[in-house]
Amino acid sequence: MYRIVLLMAVLTRAIAPQTSDNDNVTQSTEPSMPATSSMTPPPTVFRSIRVTSRPRRPGMRQKGDSPMLNYIFDSYATSNKHFHDKFRPPSFEGDMASEDTIIDADTGSTVIFDCKVTALRDKTVSWLRVYDNENLELLTLDLDTHTADARYRVDLAGENWKLALSDAKVADSGIYCCHVSTHPPMLRRFKLTVHPPAIRMSKEAFLETGETLSLKCAVLNLYPGDTVPEMHWYRGNTTVSLDEVRGGVLIETDHLSLTSHLQVARLRVEDAGNYTCALEAPLRMRTVARVHVLQGSSLAELQSGVKTTTSYFNLLLTSLILAFGTLYGDIR
């Protein structure tokens, strides 16, 4: 019996798998497991891999490991999305900031001066007027007016500091400056020209009896504002409107363009004389046309006579020049 048990132990050891020294060490350190009737493979263990770094997105700024620095970074980036503008110096908008801006205006109109300043920050904007003797007049400082002339007004629309001058007059022509309190100061110049009002009409007209007189009168460089313009026609020295003196008179006046058109039908000899186009409001201006009414001769004959007289005078002038030239040659 003893021999049988010993033989079985030898056979069991002979068929058992060979183990390495490391396995022996492991087996010696680990607690022994109870033997089972069948050998089961050990379970597979997957260990989690620790990610030490992540790929950065292009243009993305990474935070640091300090919680306080992360908080400061988040707060500053949120409240200062355009923080790069904080470091730009003030500047005038537009490519022509170094040259004078030319402004033409009509008398009575409202003139607007535009001055756009970017990145102004804590600087101030003021409007100045420069006179011929180099004297300066302070008109506005920021949004406050510093002149007694109530026609000036300053307004801020975004980055545009707008100076408005109402009821412009010819005396308002000159140089105006937008001033920014940098070091050295920034200046943008405007050259304003307010054109004086004028009234225009043909000075002379030649017509025959039975024809229709047509005269056009225009007022230039004038803005009436809220005043309704008044334009009237007179003949001779009378102060009564022409359409009240004679029938067959048609007057068409356009208050927007300040033009007036006079038509007098079936002219008679007594209709000849001076015709006056008068602007009564918002100011007084007048212009006169001399009208000739011919009877018994046509306008073509009159023009032919004028040409003959002109030719005669030209011939006489040429003869005098030749005579003086011959006399001067004889003296030499």
Domains of the chain, residue spans = 91-195, 198-294
> Where in the chain does DSSP place strands (E)?
91-92, 101-106, 111-118, 125-130, 136-141, 144-145, 152-157, 160-165, 174-180, 186-195, 198-200, 204-208, 213-220, 230-235, 249-254, 259-264, 273-281, 285-294
Give 295's pLDDT tier (boundaries 50, 70, 90): confident
Identify the pLDDT of residue 147.
93
Domain covering 198-294, topology: Immunoglobulin-like (2.60.40)
The CATH architecture that domain 91-195 belongs to is Sandwich (2.60)
Q: What is the dihedral of CA 55, 58, 59, 62, to 10 degrees?
A: 0
Give 8's pLDDT tier (boundaries 50, 70, 90): low
Q: What is the pTM of this model?
A: 0.61
Give 14's pLDDT tier (boundaries 50, 70, 90): low
Give which of 111, 69, 116, 114 is closest to 92, Cα–Cα.
116
CA 105/CA 220 separation, integer angstroms: 11
| Intrachain domains 91-195 and 198-294 with the same fold | yes
Question: What 3-state class would DSSP assign to 4?
Answer: helix
- CB of 164 within 8 A of CB of 156? no
The number of residues in the chain equals 332
CA 169/CA 171 separation, integer angstroms: 5
Q: What is the dihedral of CA 114, 115, 118, 121, to 10 degrees?
A: -120
Identify the pLDDT of residue 308.
41
Cα 292 to chain center, whole Å? 51
Instruction: Cite the DSSP H helix spans in 150-273.
Output: 242-245
CA 8/CA 26 separation, integer angstroms: 27
CA 130/CA 173 separation, integer angstroms: 10
| 150-206 pLDDT tens trace | 999 999 999 999 999 999 999 999 999 999 999 889 999 999 999 999 999 999 999
Identify the pLDDT of residue 68.
58
Identify the pLDDT of residue 242.
84
* CB contact set of 118 (below 8 Å; sequence gap of 6+): 88, 90, 91, 92, 93, 159
* CB contact set of 298 (below 8 Å; sequence gap of 6+): 208
Question: What 3-state class would DSSP assign to 169?
Answer: coil
